[in-house]
Chain A
Amino acid sequence: MTVKDLCKILSATEVNIADYDRKITSGYAGDLLSFVMGKAPQDSAWFTVMTNINVCAVATLADCGCVVICENSQPMDGVKEKAKQQGINMILTDKDIFTAIKMVVNEGQI
Protein backbone atom coordinates (compact mmCIF):
# COMPACT_ATOMS: atom_id res chain seq x y z
CA MET A 1 0.00 0.00 0.00
CA THR A 2 0.98 3.61 -0.26
CA VAL A 3 0.99 6.38 2.32
CA LYS A 4 -2.15 7.69 0.63
CA ASP A 5 -3.91 4.34 1.15
CA LEU A 6 -2.83 4.33 4.80
CA CYS A 7 -4.28 7.81 5.34
CA LYS A 8 -7.54 6.75 3.77
CA ILE A 9 -7.92 3.50 5.74
CA LEU A 10 -7.32 5.28 9.05
CA SER A 11 -9.15 8.52 8.13
CA ALA A 12 -5.96 10.10 9.38
CA THR A 13 -5.00 13.75 9.68
CA GLU A 14 -1.76 14.72 7.97
CA VAL A 15 1.01 16.07 10.17
CA ASN A 16 3.38 16.07 7.21
CA ILE A 17 3.32 14.23 3.93
CA ALA A 18 6.52 14.16 1.93
CA ASP A 19 5.45 11.47 -0.51
CA TYR A 20 1.89 10.15 -0.85
CA ASP A 21 3.06 7.44 -3.21
CA ARG A 22 5.74 5.97 -0.96
CA LYS A 23 5.20 2.23 -0.66
CA ILE A 24 4.54 0.79 2.79
CA THR A 25 5.61 -2.82 2.90
CA SER A 26 5.33 -3.73 6.59
CA GLY A 27 4.57 -2.35 10.02
CA TYR A 28 5.91 -2.00 13.54
CA ALA A 29 4.32 -0.86 16.79
CA GLY A 30 6.18 0.56 19.77
CA ASP A 31 7.18 3.57 21.79
CA LEU A 32 10.65 2.63 23.02
CA LEU A 33 12.91 4.21 20.45
CA SER A 34 15.74 1.70 20.55
CA PHE A 35 13.31 -1.13 19.95
CA VAL A 36 11.94 0.76 16.97
CA MET A 37 15.45 1.49 15.68
CA GLY A 38 16.48 -2.11 16.09
CA LYS A 39 13.38 -3.80 14.78
CA ALA A 40 11.18 -1.62 12.56
CA PRO A 41 11.72 -2.76 8.97
CA GLN A 42 12.61 -0.31 6.25
CA ASP A 43 9.51 1.22 4.58
CA SER A 44 7.31 0.23 7.49
CA ALA A 45 4.34 2.05 8.98
CA TRP A 46 5.40 2.81 12.56
CA PHE A 47 2.47 2.94 14.99
CA THR A 48 3.23 4.86 18.17
CA VAL A 49 1.90 7.29 20.74
CA MET A 50 5.33 8.88 21.20
CA THR A 51 5.41 12.40 19.77
CA ASN A 52 8.65 14.07 20.80
CA ILE A 53 11.26 15.39 18.40
CA ASN A 54 13.32 12.21 18.60
CA VAL A 55 10.58 10.36 16.76
CA CYS A 56 11.68 12.30 13.66
CA ALA A 57 15.30 11.21 14.06
CA VAL A 58 14.32 7.58 14.53
CA ALA A 59 11.90 7.62 11.58
CA THR A 60 14.57 9.14 9.34
CA LEU A 61 17.43 6.93 10.41
CA ALA A 62 15.43 3.70 10.34
CA ASP A 63 13.85 4.68 6.99
CA CYS A 64 10.27 4.30 8.21
CA GLY A 65 7.78 4.80 5.42
CA CYS A 66 5.24 6.58 7.58
CA VAL A 67 4.85 7.42 11.26
CA VAL A 68 1.30 6.75 12.43
CA ILE A 69 0.66 8.64 15.65
CA CYS A 70 -2.26 7.00 17.42
CA GLU A 71 -4.73 8.00 20.16
CA ASN A 72 -4.76 11.55 18.80
CA SER A 73 -1.50 12.07 20.70
CA GLN A 74 -0.50 15.58 19.65
CA PRO A 75 2.97 16.13 18.14
CA MET A 76 5.15 18.17 20.46
CA ASP A 77 6.65 21.53 19.54
CA GLY A 78 8.88 21.44 16.50
CA VAL A 79 7.91 17.96 15.36
CA LYS A 80 5.83 19.05 12.39
CA GLU A 81 8.59 21.39 11.21
CA LYS A 82 11.25 18.72 11.65
CA ALA A 83 9.12 16.17 9.77
CA LYS A 84 8.76 18.65 6.92
CA GLN A 85 12.45 19.46 6.89
CA GLN A 86 13.46 15.79 6.87
CA GLY A 87 10.85 14.59 4.42
CA ILE A 88 9.07 12.31 6.89
CA ASN A 89 5.56 11.06 6.27
CA MET A 90 3.64 11.49 9.54
CA ILE A 91 -0.06 11.09 10.11
CA LEU A 92 -2.35 11.30 13.12
CA THR A 93 -5.31 9.10 14.00
CA ASP A 94 -7.70 8.97 16.95
CA LYS A 95 -7.61 5.15 16.90
CA ASP A 96 -5.61 3.22 19.47
CA ILE A 97 -2.62 1.28 18.19
CA PHE A 98 -4.36 -2.11 18.18
CA THR A 99 -7.40 -0.82 16.35
CA ALA A 100 -5.33 1.10 13.82
CA ILE A 101 -3.22 -1.94 13.00
CA LYS A 102 -6.30 -4.14 12.79
CA MET A 103 -7.87 -1.75 10.29
CA VAL A 104 -4.75 -1.77 8.12
CA VAL A 105 -4.29 -5.54 8.33
CA ASN A 106 -7.96 -6.12 7.51
CA GLU A 107 -7.35 -4.35 4.24
CA GLY A 108 -4.94 -7.17 3.54
CA GLN A 109 -2.28 -4.97 2.04
CA ILE A 110 0.57 -5.50 4.51
Chain B
Amino acid sequence: MAECVHLEYRVDGNNFVSAGTATESVKSFLKNMGVDPKDVRRVAIAMYEGEINMVIHANGGYAYADIYVDKCIITLVDTGKGIADIELAMQPGYSTASDEVRALGFGAGMGLPNMKKYADECIIESEVGKGTKVTLVTNFS
Protein backbone atom coordinates (compact mmCIF):
# COMPACT_ATOMS: atom_id res chain seq x y z
CA MET B 1 0.00 0.00 0.00
CA ALA B 2 1.27 3.45 -0.84
CA GLU B 3 2.71 5.53 1.95
CA CYS B 4 0.49 8.37 3.05
CA VAL B 5 2.50 10.53 5.37
CA HIS B 6 5.98 10.62 6.84
CA LEU B 7 6.58 12.76 9.94
CA GLU B 8 9.94 13.42 11.59
CA TYR B 9 10.82 14.83 14.98
CA ARG B 10 13.99 15.64 16.89
CA VAL B 11 13.66 14.55 20.51
CA ASP B 12 15.76 16.53 23.00
CA GLY B 13 17.70 14.59 25.58
CA ASN B 14 17.21 15.25 29.31
CA ASN B 15 14.45 17.74 28.59
CA PHE B 16 11.46 16.60 30.59
CA VAL B 17 9.44 19.70 29.78
CA SER B 18 9.32 19.07 26.04
CA ALA B 19 9.19 15.27 26.40
CA GLY B 20 6.10 13.97 24.69
CA THR B 21 5.86 16.72 22.10
CA ALA B 22 6.52 14.38 19.17
CA THR B 23 3.94 11.90 20.42
CA GLU B 24 1.36 14.64 20.99
CA SER B 25 1.90 15.80 17.42
CA VAL B 26 1.46 12.30 15.97
CA LYS B 27 -1.61 11.72 18.13
CA SER B 28 -3.17 14.94 16.93
CA PHE B 29 -2.37 14.06 13.32
CA LEU B 30 -3.94 10.60 13.58
CA LYS B 31 -6.98 12.03 15.31
CA ASN B 32 -7.46 14.58 12.54
CA MET B 33 -7.11 11.79 9.97
CA GLY B 34 -10.13 10.14 11.55
CA VAL B 35 -8.28 7.08 12.87
CA ASP B 36 -10.27 5.15 15.49
CA PRO B 37 -9.60 6.81 18.90
CA LYS B 38 -8.71 3.42 20.40
CA ASP B 39 -5.96 2.95 17.82
CA VAL B 40 -4.78 6.54 18.27
CA ARG B 41 -4.48 5.89 22.00
CA ARG B 42 -2.48 2.68 21.44
CA VAL B 43 -0.04 4.48 19.13
CA ALA B 44 0.29 7.37 21.58
CA ILE B 45 0.99 5.23 24.64
CA ALA B 46 3.60 3.07 22.93
CA MET B 47 5.29 6.02 21.23
CA TYR B 48 5.37 8.14 24.39
CA GLU B 49 7.16 5.38 26.28
CA GLY B 50 9.73 5.22 23.50
CA GLU B 51 10.11 8.98 23.39
CA ILE B 52 10.59 9.17 27.16
CA ASN B 53 13.16 6.39 27.00
CA MET B 54 15.20 8.42 24.53
CA VAL B 55 14.99 11.46 26.81
CA ILE B 56 15.99 9.48 29.91
CA HIS B 57 18.57 7.06 28.58
CA ALA B 58 19.93 8.19 25.25
CA ASN B 59 20.30 11.97 25.31
CA GLY B 60 17.51 12.24 22.78
CA GLY B 61 17.25 11.04 19.22
CA TYR B 62 14.86 11.03 16.31
CA ALA B 63 11.26 9.87 16.06
CA TYR B 64 9.64 9.01 12.75
CA ALA B 65 6.01 8.23 12.02
CA ASP B 66 5.00 6.54 8.79
CA ILE B 67 1.25 6.65 8.54
CA TYR B 68 -0.51 4.38 6.09
CA VAL B 69 -4.21 3.88 5.51
CA ASP B 70 -4.26 0.70 7.58
CA LYS B 71 -1.39 1.12 10.05
CA CYS B 72 1.12 3.41 11.68
CA ILE B 73 4.80 2.62 12.02
CA ILE B 74 6.74 4.56 14.63
CA THR B 75 10.52 4.38 14.51
CA LEU B 76 12.63 5.76 17.34
CA VAL B 77 16.34 6.00 16.70
CA ASP B 78 19.03 7.10 19.11
CA THR B 79 22.79 7.01 19.37
CA GLY B 80 22.80 6.44 23.12
CA LYS B 81 24.49 3.81 25.22
CA GLY B 82 22.35 0.94 23.94
CA ILE B 83 20.69 -1.93 25.79
CA ALA B 84 23.01 -4.77 26.85
CA ASP B 85 20.28 -7.31 27.61
CA ILE B 86 17.03 -6.61 25.79
CA GLU B 87 15.25 -9.58 27.36
CA LEU B 88 16.06 -8.28 30.84
CA ALA B 89 15.02 -4.73 29.88
CA MET B 90 11.66 -6.08 28.70
CA GLN B 91 10.86 -7.49 32.14
CA PRO B 92 8.23 -5.44 33.97
CA GLY B 93 9.84 -3.56 36.86
CA TYR B 94 13.39 -3.68 35.52
CA SER B 95 14.84 -0.18 35.23
CA THR B 96 18.21 1.53 35.12
CA ALA B 97 16.74 5.03 35.56
CA SER B 98 18.35 7.41 38.04
CA ASP B 99 16.73 8.47 41.32
CA GLU B 100 16.24 11.93 39.81
CA VAL B 101 14.24 10.47 36.93
CA ARG B 102 12.26 8.25 39.31
CA ALA B 103 11.32 11.30 41.37
CA LEU B 104 9.53 12.62 38.26
CA GLY B 105 7.40 9.49 38.20
CA PHE B 106 9.36 7.67 35.50
CA GLY B 107 11.65 4.66 35.81
CA ALA B 108 9.01 2.19 36.98
CA GLY B 109 10.33 -0.36 34.53
CA MET B 110 7.08 -0.42 32.58
CA GLY B 111 8.17 1.47 29.45
CA LEU B 112 9.18 -1.43 27.24
CA PRO B 113 6.40 -3.71 28.55
CA ASN B 114 3.88 -0.97 27.71
CA MET B 115 5.26 -0.66 24.19
CA LYS B 116 4.91 -4.40 23.71
CA LYS B 117 1.42 -4.36 25.17
CA TYR B 118 0.03 -1.52 23.08
CA ALA B 119 1.78 -1.94 19.73
CA ASP B 120 0.96 -4.89 17.49
CA GLU B 121 4.64 -5.32 16.76
CA CYS B 122 7.52 -4.04 18.86
CA ILE B 123 11.00 -4.59 17.46
CA ILE B 124 14.01 -3.48 19.47
CA GLU B 125 17.45 -3.47 17.91
CA SER B 126 20.32 -2.28 20.03
CA GLU B 127 24.09 -2.28 20.19
CA VAL B 128 25.94 -1.27 23.32
CA GLY B 129 27.84 1.97 22.76
CA LYS B 130 26.12 2.65 19.43
CA GLY B 131 22.44 3.11 20.12
CA THR B 132 18.97 1.70 19.85
CA LYS B 133 16.27 1.50 17.22
CA VAL B 134 12.72 0.75 18.27
CA THR B 135 10.03 0.01 15.69
CA LEU B 136 6.41 0.06 16.77
CA VAL B 137 3.74 -1.11 14.35
CA THR B 138 0.09 -0.46 15.13
CA ASN B 139 -2.52 -1.90 12.78
CA PHE B 140 -5.71 0.10 12.59
CA SER B 141 -8.90 -1.76 13.43
Residues of A within 8 A of B (CB): 31-35, 37-38, 42, 50, 52-55, 57-58, 60-63, 78, 86
> Which B residues are CB-close (under 8 A) to A52?
16, 104-105
Instruction: Count residues on chain B whose CB falls below 8 Å from chain A CBs.
Output: 25
Question: B41 to A62, Cβ gap below 8 A?
Answer: yes
A78 to B104, CA, bound (A): 15
Q: A62 — which chain B residues lie within 8 A by C-beta?
A: 41, 44-45
Other CB < 8 Å A-B pairs besides A35-B108, A52-B105, A53-B16, 12 of them?
Answer: A32-B106, A33-B104, A37-B48, A37-B110, A52-B16, A52-B104, A54-B106, A57-B20, A57-B24, A60-B20, A61-B45, A63-B41
16 intermolecular pairs with C-beta atoms under 8 Å apart: A33-B104, A33-B106, A34-B49, A37-B49, A38-B118, A42-B37, A52-B104, A53-B16, A57-B24, A57-B48, A60-B24, A60-B27, A61-B23, A61-B41, A63-B37, A78-B17
- Residue B134 CB within 8 A of the other chain: no
Which residue of the partner chain, among A32, A54, A60, contacts B108 with CB atoms under 8 Å? A32
Select one of B16, B20, B45, B105 contacting A31, CB under 8 A: B105
How near does chain B come to A62, taking the closest CB pair, in angstroms?
6
Central interface residue in B20, B109, B113, B114, by most chain A CB within 10 Å: B20
By the criterion CB–CB under 8 Å, are B45 and A37 in contact? yes
| B residues lining the A interface (CB < 8 Å) | 16-17, 19-20, 23-24, 27, 37-38, 41, 44-45, 48-49, 104-106, 108-111, 113-114, 117-118
Looking at chain A's contact residues, the main secondary structure is helix
Residue of B nearest to A78 (CB): B17
Q: How far is the CA of A54 from the CA of B49 in the complex (A)?
A: 12
Cβ contact within 8 Å between B24 and A54 = no
- A50–chain B nearest beta-carbon distance, Å: 5
State the Cβ distance, B10 to closest chain A Cβ, in Å. 17
